[in-house]
Amino acid sequence: MNDLLFELPLPEDFDLGACLEYMNRSPLECLFRTDEAGVSRMFRIEGGPMLVRLSVSEDHKLSVTRLHGAVPGALEQEQLARYIVEWFDLDRDLAPFYRLAAADPLLGPLASEHRGLRIIGIPDLFEALCWAILGQQVNLAFAYRLKQRLTAEYGEALEWEGQTYYRFPGPEVFTGVQVEELCALQLTRSKAQTVLTVASLITSGELSREELLALPSPAAAEQRLLQIRGIGPWTSQYVRMRCLRDASSYPVGDVGLQNVIKHLTGMDRKPTPAELLELARPWQGWEAYATFYLWRALY
C-alpha cells in the first residue's frame, strides 16, 4: 500500500505534464522513471533506500508518496520536500518570464506551447558537475550512456516490481578510484580526471553547494568553479542554471542553443557568442529560462 508522506503547494504556472515531457526525452535516463502521471525516484535516508513517487492531486498539489523502502522521519521529510522544491523550481514566480516571452518572437510560441515547464534542477552539486562534465563536447545520447555506466558501476540500485531504480553515487565513493577505471567506462582521460578532482574537493569539504551559494553573486560562484582544472565556461554556466538555480545563467557556448537559434532565425551559420548576448538583451534576468525553453525546440 502506498504511503502518502506529504503534499506540496504548487504555483499557478506549473504543469507536471510539461515537466515530464522534458524529463522523458531520453530512454537512457537512469535516475528516475516517468509515466503519464508522475515520476518515481530513489532517495537515500538514514534507514536505507526509499522509493518515492510524485504526482499531482485533484486539488493541484504535488503528492509525495513512499512506494517502497525505509520510512523517513520528520527531518528527512523536510529535507526531501526542500529537494523536490529545488528539483522543480517550485518557489519561483514565472509570471515575469511569461510576460517577457509573450513579447518575444522567438520565445513566445515556445512559452505558449510548454507553459508550466520549470527548469528541472539537479540539486546535488556533485551530480550536477558530473552531468555537465560528461556532457562536454559529446551528443546527448552518449552523455546519457556515460551517466548510466557511471551510476551502474558506482551508484546504488533498488529492485522493486521488476524495475531497477538507481541513485547517483556520492563523491566519497570515488576515494581510491583510478583514472583508468573511469576510462574503462568510455570517459576520456580528461573527463575522468575532472570527475575525480571534483569528487575529492567535495569529499574534503573544499567545495560545496552551500559555499557557492554564499558567494556574493552567481558570477563569483562561476569564477570559483573555473578555478578547477577541467571546468570551463560552459560547464560552470550549466551548473549555475541547473544546480545553483541562477535564472540569469546563459551558456552561450552551448551547441544546442546555437543550433536552435540558427534554426529559428533562419541564419545560414551558427550565431556567435556576441550575437547570442545581443539577442538575449530583452531576456535579462531570465536567460536560463529562455535557454531552457529554446532547448525544447530541439526535440
Domains in the chain (CATH in brackets) are 3-91 (3.30.310.20), 125-157+168-242 (1.10.340.30), 255-298 (no CATH)
Q: Taking 70 as the threshold, does the pLDDT of residue 138 lie above it?
A: yes
The arithmetic mean of pLDDT across residues 183-208, rounded, is 98
Q: 6 by DSSP, 3-state: which?
A: strand
Given pLDDT bands bounded at 50, 70 and 90, which one contains residue 135?
A: very high
Q: Taking 90 as the threshold, does the pLDDT of residue 299 lie above it?
A: no
Q: Taking 60 as the threshold, does the pLDDT of residue 97 lie above it?
A: yes
Say whether 254 is catalytic. Answer: yes
Residue 271: per-residue pLDDT: 95
As given in the structure block, the three cell numbers for residue 69 are: 523502502
The answer to whether the beta carbons of residues 129 and 196 sit under 8 Å apart is: no
Residue 224: per-residue pLDDT: 97
Please state, in angstroms and as integers, the Cα–Cα distance from residue 213 to each residue in 90, 114, 136, 217, 239, following that order.
18, 29, 24, 8, 12
Residue 1: per-residue pLDDT: 53
> Measuring CA to CA, which residue among 199, 162, 161, 146 is closest to residue 177?
199
> Measuring CA to CA, which residue among 158, 138, 126 is closest to residue 228?
126
Q: How far is CA 55 from the centre of its chain?
A: 19
The model's pLDDT over 24-65, given as tens digits with 9 standing for 90+, comes to 989 999 999 999 999 999 999 998 999 999 999 999 999 999
The arithmetic mean of pLDDT across residues 136-140, rounded, is 88
- pLDDT above 70 covers a percentage of the chain that reads 100
The Cα–Cα gap between 120 and 5 comes to 22
The model's pLDDT over 233-266, given as tens digits with 9 standing for 90+, comes to 999 999 999 999 999 999 999 999 999 999 999 9
The model's pLDDT over 10-27, given as tens digits with 9 standing for 90+, comes to 999 999 999 999 999 899
Beta bridge partners of 48: 45
Q: Could you say which of 89, 124, 246, 254 is catalytic?
A: 254
